Amino acid sequence: MTNVSLSVLEQKQDFIRRHIGPDASEQSAMLETMGVSSLDELITQTVPADIRLPAPLQMGGARTEVETLAYLKSLAQQNQVFRSHIGMGYSNTFTPHVILRNVLENPGWYTAYTPYQPEIAQGRLEMLLNFQQMTLDLTGLDLASASLLDESTAAAEAMALAKRVSKNKKSNTYFVADHVHPQTIDVVKTRAEAFGFDVIVGAWNTAGEHDVFGALLQYPGTTGEVNDLAEVIAAVQAKKGIVAVAADIMSLVLLKAPGQMGADVVLGSAQRFGVPMGYGGPHAAFFATRDAYKRSLPGRIIGVSKDTSGNVALRMAMQTREQHIRREKANSNICTAQVLLANMAAFYAIYHGPQGLKTIANRIHRLTSILALGLQQGGLKLANSSWFDTVLVAVDDKSAVIEAAQARGINLRLDVSGHVGISLDETTTATNVNELFDLLLGESHNASVQVLDQQVIDAAGVIPANLQRDTEFLTHPVFNRYHSETEMLRYIKRLENKDLSLNHSMISLGSCTMKLNATAEMIPVTWPEFGQLHPFCPREQAKGYTAMMTELSDWLINITGYDALLMQPNSGAQGEYAGLLAIRKYHESRGDAHRNICLIPQSAHGTNPASAQMASMKVVVVACDTDGNIDLNDLREKAESMADQLSCLMVTYPSTHGVYEETIREVCDIVHANGGQVYLDGANMNAQVGLTSPGFIGADVSHLNLHKTFCIPHGGGGPGMGPIGVKQHLAPFVAGHAVVDMDGEAKDNGAVSAAPYGSASILPISWAYIAMMGSQGLKHATEVAILNANYLTQRLKEHFPVLYTGRNDRVAHECILDIRPLKEASGITEMDIAKRLIDYGFHSPTMSFPVAGTLMVEPTESEAKVELDRFADTLIAIRQEIAKVEKGEWSLEDNPLVNAPHTQQNVMGEWPHSYSRETAVYPLPSVAQNKFWPTVNRIDDVYGDRNLFCACVPMSEYE
């Protein structure tokens, strides 16, 4: 018998060595290149001693994949999956299996980043364009974005848009109809309070009576009623107000589009188009408005442009409206925003097509009418006289109904006094409706779905004729040609093939932390026990979720060194906003409401100033010195001179320059000494976990990007989770929720997201990561992230100047390559390098953030030495190509850099260039082994913005 080790320890660490790219011998080899004897020595050289944690993390040991999944399954089984008829913007749905497996469960789709390099993102850009087209068709408006975080935050964005574009400049008041979903009213009120707007909540049909800059209506209303909104919309607009309508996407299949009733903005959740409820998320929100307001639209817009060969090519349009350019003047702070879920919803529309969607919507509506008729014939009164899928039923003994419903495993809506609400969805069957009859009419009733069905068919519909859709939708061929599964499968695959994601090669986007999203971490996400819970179901049905989230919170509290954690914000930027609101409320509670200055270093991420603006703070920029560090003198001078009004400092650590600033404790002290709070942007936590922590350093609040540090995949631009950790003194001021009683948080603090725990269904990913790494594994991951970054720096620094380094000339977990001197000498730009990397099969590092003319490289711990070397060899080869341009061997007008990327089409037929085809597309032997072909040439940004076109391209354009 061979002598195999049965050491449990070894098995337990199995996941750690799979998550971490370089093995022990590779690590030694890398350390040797750097002249360092051990990982410990490197860390001592790199991380300032005064911020090193005195004690190890307390997660315990690593668990195996099998143990982790078994434990998560046991938690999942503590969730009770009731049939939820709660509605309120969340419905059961069937995720078509071809989409479930080939999109949601497919790393080709879920590991990509936001399409910053559009030439290798045409697949998801095409799907997002389909999402926009679907939005346009269903809403009846001119211009749509892709996509927002949830319906309630989309409504808050609509309010902000109204304020920007309304001609009623005098009014500071926004009207919200009381038939809007309660969580949306909550989120809008929170946002209004932060902006200093007044909110009137009143009956929807009184909106026109007020002097307001805008109004929000719901369609159908939260009670289920389908109202003709046209007159009220016109009345508000007559007083120069902007009207937004939050609409149910499935109802729009049958109902007149709100755009046709005159709405200025139409928004809503695309969840019920095939995205599981997931106890609150993630889901995509849609948002459409008039063409005239295009410059005010929040979030991303995908637009059609051309590439250098004149072919149709897609890209993100009008980026100049966004925070990374306009900072505190941006339309919104939205960065990560649910791309994967928007893609799923659009695929759902393609899968069913307009006819299939009509069948689904009609079926839902017919069953609802059967339910309504049966209940009425049985003597019950409905609060609404029209409906799409929801009725409110008056009940005498509500608690008896609730009890009986629970006994049958049914959830009804309970928050309307004297009534229960019932919403149906595409999964509801005739049997379910019969069961609802049994429940509400008693067992001896004689309501029968079959008999009632005939009566419903014979009767006039409850949707008034003028509110029925009489326009076509989804007429574009894309929604009408993939209705066999073979065709659908191939369409999904065809688009996937156009995009470079982590299953092809390393994506070294600095600040984005594109680490491994392990398969074992992803598996629980699509378990029904996590997927099918309604966010407003009774808490006792979500015991498994509560247990999982409590454990995850405790771990994150330990990792961050804070005292409490809020699991609500569904992106990093949303976390910033939530954290700044907590700071604001804290100051207010101490009679310091006037503290409204937010100091932000020059180098900060654009979301920081954009979030500060949303919290009505005044942004004051703090300078950085020539080494890229916060200029302490400037900070001290500003903090002291503004001490009376100082609210906080927002600082990223390690800095966005990729350096552990030695003075971080002093920075915190200066701010505190002047009465301010410290917001530490946690996007760079991958360089902190286990070595230091924001709480230990002295900060008061941080968001974590669970989709960076804690392995939630980026989904091509979302989902994400941005929980915030806070010190004790801020804990009473974090967000609450109007519908769900959350432990510990004050209900009336106001919500920042639609769902109490944000995108709860992706939290098992972070839970599993931490469980499988354990305390030591997590710390080791941080150390190797630092090792990998310093190794790359070591290999690249003779070829490209590294802009900033910290102590002992080390970088943290990322490094900035300065392309400006090269550009000066050769005319080749950082953009040319980014595009040339595509020819070599790589995604570019982060371009021109935080410094214009640079590339910021973050390898993460998950990349093995072989991949790091391949990447370094590639950049060095590109440097040699640049040298040829410098020496005049290639002209600046015709060389493989400025012509990059090259497509298959380019290398066929005539070859007009001064370099060879091989140089163009197989520049290194390793490239030929695993060639990634971009499907378009370099895309013309200017053309796209000048000729803004944001809907599906007519088929003729492709011919």
Of 259 and 720, nearer to ligand PLP (C-beta) is 720
Helix axes 339-377, 485-497, angle to 10 degrees: 150
Work out how close the CB of 608 gets to ligand PLP at its nearest, in angstroms, rounded to a whole number. 7
In sequence order, the 6+-apart residues with CB closer than 8 A to the CB of 49 are none
Count helices and strands (H / E) in the chain. Answer: 32, 23
Phi, psi of 864 (to 5 degrees): -75, 165
- Residue in 222, 296, 305, 336 binding ligand PLP, rule: CB under 6 A: 336
- Look-up: residue for tokens 């040319």? 832
* Burial call 715-730: b when 16+ CB within 10 Å, e when fewer: bbbbbbbbbbbbbeeb
Question: Is the four-CA dihedral 938, 942, 946, 950 of positive or negative sign?
Answer: positive
What is the closest distance, in whole angstroms, from the C-beta atom of residue 753 to ligand PLP in the complex?
A: 12
CB of 652 to ligand PLP, least distance (A): 5
- Which residue's CB is nearer to ligand PLP, number 571 or number 766? 571
Distance, in Å, from the CA atom of 696 to the CA atom of 699, rounded to the nearest integer, reads 8
Q: Which is nearer to ligand PLP, 456 or 659 (CB)?
A: 659
- The answer to whether 573 contacts ligand PLP (rule: CB under 6 A) is yes
Q: Which amino acid, 772? A: M
Nearest C-alpha neighbor of 277 from the set 594, 537, 635: 537
Q: What share of residues in the chain are helix, strand, coil (percent, to 5)? A: 45, 15, 40
Nearest residue to 289 via CA among 463, 490, 139: 139
Q: Quick one: 601 or 720, whose CB is closer to ligand PLP?
A: 720
Among 248-256, 352-360, 480-488, 567-575, which window interacts with ligand PLP (CB under 6 A)?
Answer: 567-575
Which residues lie below 8 Å from residue 744, measured CB to CB, with a gap of 6+? 564, 731
Question: With binding defined as CB under 6 A, does residue 511 bind ligand PLP?
Answer: yes
Span near ligand PLP by CB under 6 A; candidates 48-56, 233-241, 570-578, 624-632: 570-578
237 touches ligand PLP (CB under 6 A): no
Task: Specify the DSSP class assigned to residue 617.
Answer: P
> What is the closest distance, in whole angstroms, from the C-beta atom of residue 83 to ligand PLP in the complex?
34
860: contact with ligand PLP by CB under 6 A: no
Indicate which single residue of 221, 258, 722, 758 sits in contact with ligand PLP (rule: CB under 6 A): 722
| Secondary structure of residue 143 in the 3-state scheme | strand
By C-beta, is 189 or 300 nearer to ligand PLP?
300
Is the Cβ of residue 96 or residue 850 nearer to ligand PLP in the bound state?
Answer: 850
C-beta of 432 vs 602, nearer to ligand PLP: 602
Residue 790: closest CA among 815, 825, 762: 815
139 lies in the binding site for ligand PLP (CB under 6 A): no
| Residue from 56, 51, 59, 58 nearest 696 by CA | 51
Q: Which is nearer to ligand PLP, 27 or 613 (CB)?
A: 613
User: Which is nearer to ligand PLP, 849 or 915 (by Cβ)?
Assistant: 849
CA dihedral 260, 950, 511, 107 (to 10 degrees): 90
- The encoded tokens of residue 502 equal 């982590």
- The mark string for 587-606 relative to ligand PLP (x by CB under 6 A, - otherwise) is ------------------x-
Q: How far is the CB of 621 from ligand PLP (least distance, A)?
A: 16
- Residue with smaller CB distance to ligand PLP, 106 or 652: 652
Question: What are the angstrom distances between the C-alpha of 85 and each of 89, 284, 403, 410?
Answer: 11, 21, 15, 7
Which is nearer to ligand PLP, 586 or 849 (by Cβ)?
849
Site string for ligand PLP, 688-707 (x = CB under 6 A): -----------------x--
- Binds ligand PLP by CB under 6 A, chosen from 328, 496, 681, 863: 681
Q: Least distance from C-beta 617 to ligand PLP, angstroms?
A: 16
User: Residue 572 or 901: which CB sits closer to ligand PLP?
Assistant: 572
Can residue 683 be called a binding residue for ligand PLP (CB under 6 A)?
yes
Binds ligand PLP by CB under 6 A, chosen from 214, 303, 421, 720: 720
- On whether the CB atoms of residues 155 and 882 are closer than 8 A, the answer is no
- The gap from C-alpha 209 to its chain's centroid, in whole angstroms, comes to 37
Sheet with 143-148: strands ordered across = 143-148, 285-289, 265-269, 242-247, 214-219, 173-177, 198-202
Taking the complex as a whole, the smallest distance from the CB of residue 298 to ligand PLP amounts, in Å, to: 13
Rule CB under 6 A: is residue 607 a binding residue for ligand PLP? Answer: yes
Among the listed ranges 16-24, 565-573, 577-585, 924-932, the one in contact with ligand PLP (CB under 6 A) is 565-573
Contacts of ligand PLP in 766-795 (CB under 6 A): none
Query: Who contacts 887 (Cβ-Cβ below 8 Å, separation ≥6)?
Result: none
Closer Cβ to ligand PLP, 374 or 658, answer by number: 658
| Residue of 305, 656, 753, 899 interacting with ligand PLP (CB under 6 A) | 656
- Residue 121: DSSP 8-state: B
Please, what is the minimum distance in Å from the beta carbon of residue 660 to ligand PLP? 15
Report, in Å, the least distance between residue 740 CB and ligand PLP.
Answer: 23
Q: Which two three-digit tokens encode residue 157? A: 């964005």
Nearest residue to the partner ligand PLP, using Cβ: 572
CB of 721 to ligand PLP, least distance (A): 8
For residue 384, what are the CA distances in angstroms to 228, 372, 432? 14, 10, 21
Round the CA-based radius of gyration of the chain to a whole number and report it: 28
Cα 730 from Cα 749, distance rounded (Å): 12
Among 572, 601, 845, 923, binds ligand PLP (CB under 6 A): 572
Shortest distance (Å) from residue 850 CB to ligand PLP? 8
Binding window for ligand PLP (CB under 6 A); candidates: 387-395, 571-579, 626-634, 766-774? 571-579
Instruction: Kindly determine how many residues on this chain lie close enough to bind ligand PLP according to the rule CB under 6 A.
Output: 15
Under the criterion CB under 6 A, does residue 467 sit at the interface with ligand PLP?
Answer: no
Residue 663's CB is within 10 A of a number of other CB atoms, namely: 14
| Residues 616-655 contacting ligand PLP, CB under 6 A | 652
Q: Which residues bind ligand PLP (CB under 6 A)?
A: 335-336, 511, 571-573, 605, 607, 652, 656, 681, 683, 705, 720, 722
